[in-house]
Amino acid sequence: MAEDSMATTGIARHGAARLPSVDVDSFNIELKDEDGFVGDRASKSAFRRILDGLRKPLKKNGEDPLGSKSTEAIGKGTLDAALVGDDIAAAALVHGAIEEFAQELACVTQRFLKTKAWADTERIVVGGGFRESRVGELAIARTDIILKAAGCKVDLVPIRHHPDDAGLIGCLHLAPSWILEAHDSILAVDIGGTNIRCGVVETRWKKASDLSKAEVWKSELWRHADDEPTRDGAVKRLVKMLKGLIAAADAEGLRLAPFIGIACPGVIDADGSIEKGAQNLPGNWESSKFNLPARLVEAIPSIGDHDTAVLMHNDGVAQGLAEMPFMQDVERWGVLTIGTGLGNARFTNRRRDKTTGDDSKGKDKDKK
């Protein structure tokens, strides 16, 4: 299996547990209790359910400070504005939802910390769409306080990059350093249940060899959920987006690497197939007859003068990897992405011997 994937990518395994700078100790853990998946208690929809529950008794009395709109129809901007507006009742209502959600997120985080894969985690970065709001930032900060009050020696911090950029930037850390040193940008793809985003990511390697200065130069978003395409239709559109970005990078004079990094939901097998977790994508992406990396190599066999290499990993892993340059003061850290569900991954930094260049850690680990 690993040999087949090497032939497809030319450089490494898909969904690898051993990456250039970190070991991926686990990803996409699905914890369960009597009520179902634990992560569902700390998703964007969970926050909406909590807020809706707080609004119901107020609606009956005609005293809902958020008005007559359904909870689903109220945007993040409206909730953020309520926190700082003159309507104290509206601010109190949103703060109440934040507090209840933070309690749930703290419980879910503690469940992860009790697993073997997450043992001794020192810091957790929180990403996903929920983080990109004042409500999300307050919920993360409140959860951090709750965890510390409970004696958990872990820091909970919001991801630095915009969540839309983090998944693309994280794909840089899938590529071996020799690819990045010879070029100034790569193609990256972030696939979600609602959107597919493609981008050209500038490494800015000469400014910061740890890629801490990397930025998305140009990106394109397709909300596939609105079009409801077939799986083949989605791949065709993805290829068109990538070819457009290749042309734009060439026109700009960027030295684009012959590499495409892909962030995708689910458990990614070494041969590039998706074992499970892709049920929200258009069509059956878990079919044994479907291999996205191979399809992209077939459609885009070369970039510049070199054969195209494609590497795919879990989207939570990719988003967490964007934070890797800023996690060098700890050894073991994780990521939680609050979106439709709760994505998760745990990492251990790999130290290199400055004299020999050898890794201080030995063999690859299996993903949990």
pLDDT for position 364: 43
Domain map (residue ranges) of the chain: 2-30+162-321
- Examine the pLDDT at 131 and tell me if it is beyond 70: yes
pLDDT for position 2: 40
C-alpha span between 57 and 49 (Å, rounded): 14
DSSP label at residue 351: P
C-alpha span between 269 and 8 (Å, rounded): 13
| DSSP assignment string, 192-257 | -SS-EEEEEEE--TTT-TTSTT-EEEEEEEE-HHHH---HHHHHHHHHHHHHHHHHHHHHHT--EE
Reported CATH class of domain 2-30+162-321: alpha beta
pLDDT for position 11: 66
Which pTM does this prediction carry? 0.88
222-239 average pLDDT score: 93
pLDDT for position 160: 93
Are 256 and 165 in contact by the 8 Å Cβ rule? The answer is no
Backbone φ and ψ of 102, nearest 5°: -60, -40
Backbone φ and ψ of 335, nearest 5°: -135, 140
CA-based R_g, the chain, Å: 21
- Computed over every residue of the chain, the mean pLDDT equals 90
pLDDT digits (tens, 9 = 90+) for 97-117: 999 999 999 999 999 999 999
Compute CA distances 111 → 31, 33, 114, 140, 210, whole Å. 8, 10, 5, 16, 32
38-58 average pLDDT score: 94
Residue 270 pLDDT grade (very low, low, confident, very high; cuts 50, 70, 90): very high
- Examine the pLDDT at 33 and tell me if it is beyond 70: yes
- Examine the pLDDT at 366 and tell me if it is beyond 60: no
C-alpha span between 36 and 308 (Å, rounded): 42
pLDDT digits (tens, 9 = 90+) for 320-361: 999 999 999 999 999 999 988 889 999 999 865 443 344 444
pLDDT for position 15: 94
pLDDT digits (tens, 9 = 90+) for 278-319: 888 988 999 989 999 999 999 999 999 999 999 999 999 999
Closest CA to 217 of 180, 252, 182, 241: 252
227-231 average pLDDT score: 92
